[in-house]
């Protein structure tokens, strides 16, 4: 069964360091999303791609966060420098026309 | 604006039915979804309903949609301990953008 793959599953980093997350969507899904989920809350959209183009990054803190999907397939989300408040679960999803499927997420802890 | 609201907690006894409620604000939403999240895991798509439908049934799951009141519910029949999780309602707010509620934590008591 096709799945959205994310790595790493867990990441601990010191504040002010750089950190990167990787996502491989379900084959054929043109739309890819990065969500951030703070403990006890619902996922919030950070960035949405259609193929290699950014459709929505209005909630992405662009002073420290960046995302790319160079070939329209896999994607990388980077944080530099990391802050304590960035500790959260980072979820990647990809969608067909009607359904969005999520990866297992990367749990980031900034110390 | 776009906003999805859910109650935070629900506790039921094993074997009973659970009903999780959600309200949304975007009347242009084409699809509405229910996702399940177990501890430390990603979101699992349970079911979804097209906005021109009133009801959808899928095994133990029944989704009811009241488009006039912008109210969505998920009924789980014969709730089991394995159903304990957080359930998220989501709307597809056009351009394939998904807006999620805050989640309802379902606790099933044995």
Does residue A74 surpass a pLDDT of 70? yes
Q: Tens digit of pLDDT for each residue in B54-78?
A: 999 999 999 999 999 999 999 999 9
Find the CB nearest B42 among A41, A56, A103.
Answer: A103
Neighbours of A54 (CB within 10 A): 13
B71 Cα to chain A: minimum distance (Å): 18
**Average pLDDT of the segment spanning B7-22:** 96
Q: How far apart are CA B7 and CA A80, in angstroms?
A: 36
Q: Quote the pLDDT of residue B2.
A: 62
Preferred mutation among A34, A43, A44 to probe B, highest tally of B CBs within 10 A: A43
Q: Tens digit of pLDDT for each residue in A2-50?
A: 899 999 999 999 999 999 999 999 999 999 999 999 998 999 999 999 9
Chain B positions touching A33 (Cβ under 8 A) are: 98
Of B84, B86, B56, B89, the C-alpha closest to B70 is B89
Preferred mutation among B5, B8, B9, B43 to probe A, highest tally of A CBs within 10 A: B43
């Amino acid at each position: 069964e096709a799945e959205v793959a994310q790595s790493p599953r867990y990441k601990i980093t010191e504040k002010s360091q750089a950190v990167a997350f990787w996502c491989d969507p379900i084959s054929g899904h043109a739309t890819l999303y990065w969500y951030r989920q703070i403990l006890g809350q619902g996922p919030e959209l950070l960035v949405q791609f259609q193929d290699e183009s950014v459709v929505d990054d209005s909630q992405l803190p662009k002073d420290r966060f960046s995302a790319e999907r160079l070939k329209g397939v896999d994607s990388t989300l980077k944080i530099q420098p990391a802050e304590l408040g960035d500790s959260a679960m980072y979820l990647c999803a990809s969608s067909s026309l009607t359904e969005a499927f999520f990866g297992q997420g990367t749990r980031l802890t900034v110390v | 604006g776009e906003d999805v609201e859910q109650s935070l907690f629900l506790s039921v006894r094993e074997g009973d039915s659970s009903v999780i409620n959600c309200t949304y604000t975007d009347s242009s939403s084409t699809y509405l979804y229910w996702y399940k999240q177990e501890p430390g895991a990603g979101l699992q798509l349970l079911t979804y309903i097209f906005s021109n439908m009133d009801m959808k049934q899928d095994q133990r799951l029944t989704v009811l949609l009241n488009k006039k009141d912008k109210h969505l519910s998920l009924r789980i029949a014969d709730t089991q301990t394995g159903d304990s999780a957080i359930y998220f309602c989501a709307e597809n707010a056009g351009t394939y953008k998904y807006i999620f509620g805050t989640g309802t934590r379902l606790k099933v008591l044995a």
